[in-house]
Amino acid sequence: MRLLTSTMAALGFLYTGVAADSKLYAIEGVFCNTLEHIVQVIRTSDGVDTSAAIKTINAEAGKKVCGFAKFLSAEAVRKDMATYPYQEVANSFGSWQPLEVLIVGVVTRVGIVHFRPRRAYMAFLKKLAIPGINI
């Protein structure tokens, strides 16, 4: 996750429900519409190739509920992790922390596409499953 040094106000756009001085993060990874879906992605993938898990989850839902993209996110929506039903989710790759984020745009080949903020869920790797290696 890379912090963009400019604030939303400096970039010249404001979003309803997002503070003007919020920091933006450029994140590349899997995101889902619900916490349950991101947990399902983690549990049904090996942490490296998530494409099969995403395809299965989207097919079961009958619509696109998870995807992979490079997107812009405002600061984490929910910072009190103690209230999460899933504190940590593991697969063969390691232990993951699900997190609710506020997505405000997507990075494409031609630039950034901004849109109305929407809540989504993603997960950050907390610990590799390889003994002796910590992140």
Provide the residue-wise pLDDT of the chain in tens; the chain has 135 residues.
433 433 333 333 334 445 555 677 788 889 999 999 999 999 998 766 789 999 999 999 999 999 998 888 876 655 555 666 667 888 888 888 888 888 888 888 888 888 888 889 988 888 887 765 555
Q: Indicate whether 84 belongs to any domain.
A: yes
Return the pLDDT at 36: 92
Q: pTM of this prediction?
A: 0.72
Tokens 């405002």, residue? 74
Domain extent for 79: 2-10+24-128
**98 three-state secondary structure:** strand
Asked whether residue 19 is assigned to any structural domain, the reply reads no
The residue written with tokens 């503070």 in the block is 19
Answer yes or no: is 100 within a domain.
yes
pLDDT given for residue 5 in this prediction: 35
Q: How many domains does the chain have?
A: 1
Q: How far apart are the first and last CA of the chain?
A: 14
pLDDT the model gives residue 12: 32
The Cα–Cα gap between 25 and 4 comes to 5
Whether 15 is covered by a domain: the verdict is no
Distance of alpha carbon 131 from its chain centroid, rounded? 26
Q: For residue 83, give the DSSP letter.
A: G
Q: What is the pLDDT of residue 16?
A: 43
Q: Is residue 133 part of a domain?
A: no
Judged by DSSP in three states, 60 sits in helix
Residue at 80 is within a domain: yes
Q: What is the pLDDT of residue 1?
A: 40
Alpha-carbon distance of 103 to 39, in angstroms, equals 18
Residue 65 structure tokens = 């509920």
Encode 75-95: b = buried (16+ Cβ within 10 Å), e = exposed: eebeeeeeeeebeebebebbb
